[in-house]
Amino acid sequence: MPVSIRLFVPVVLRAAVTLAISGVGIPPSFAAGPRAASSDEAPFLQENDVAMTKMMADMSIRPTGDVDRDFVAMMVPHHQGAIDMAQAELRYGRNEQLRRIAQEIVVEQQQEIVAMHLALGQPLPPSTPAPDQQEPASSSAGDAHAMSHHGMQMNMLSHTQKEPQ
């Protein structure tokens, strides 16, 4: 990302947070919460609400006097919030272009979290399963197997194995 954009992001973030807290500029469907959504959109909106609430709470830090540590302490939850919202898009979204963008967000934000921890000499966060492999609670067990890591691994092997000659 160019330096000019990186310098501009905190300004935009502060403005977005201020608007979100005040409720100004938020479309009525989001301001009203998941109850105003269609039944298929409600789980997506609820996951996003949980992600946003957690992100905002986790970004509220007590300053330490170390600008770099405080920056990372606020940015890591911000990045995790983006990951959580992208995961909701991956679970519920249908637009393939947006789903690809969501996948990129997950990867890029995870890389930036690691880079920030490394820059401060902090230990890396523990490894977790790939977030896009988690199933929403409403999935059936049969569907879960088809989308599991093991199932994907087998599908990948079947596409990469050479046919006997």
CA distance 80 to 71: 14
Domain-embedded: residue 112? yes
Domain-embedded: residue 150? no
Domain housing 61 = 33-137
**Collapsed DSSP state (helix, strand, coil) of residue 162:** coil
DSSP state of 98: H
Structure tokens belonging to residue 85: 């919202």
Residue 40 pLDDT: 83
CA distance 12 to 94: 28
Domain-embedded: residue 148? no
Are 78 and 55 in contact by the 8 Å Cβ rule? The answer is yes
Mean pLDDT of 104-118: 96
Q: Summarize pLDDT for 2-56 with one digit per residue, the tens.
A: 544 444 455 555 555 554 554 544 444 455 554 556 788 999 999 999 999 999 9
Annotate 105-155 with three-state secondary structure. HHHHHHHHHHHHHHHCCCCCCCCCCCHHHCCCCCCCHHHHHHHCHHHHHHH
> Residue 78: what residue type?
H
Angle of helix 42-59 relative to helix 3-22, nearest 10 degrees? 110
Domain-embedded: residue 46? yes
Chain centroid to CA 46: how far?
A: 14
Domain-embedded: residue 12? no
Mean pLDDT of 61-87: 97
Q: How many domains in the chain?
A: 1
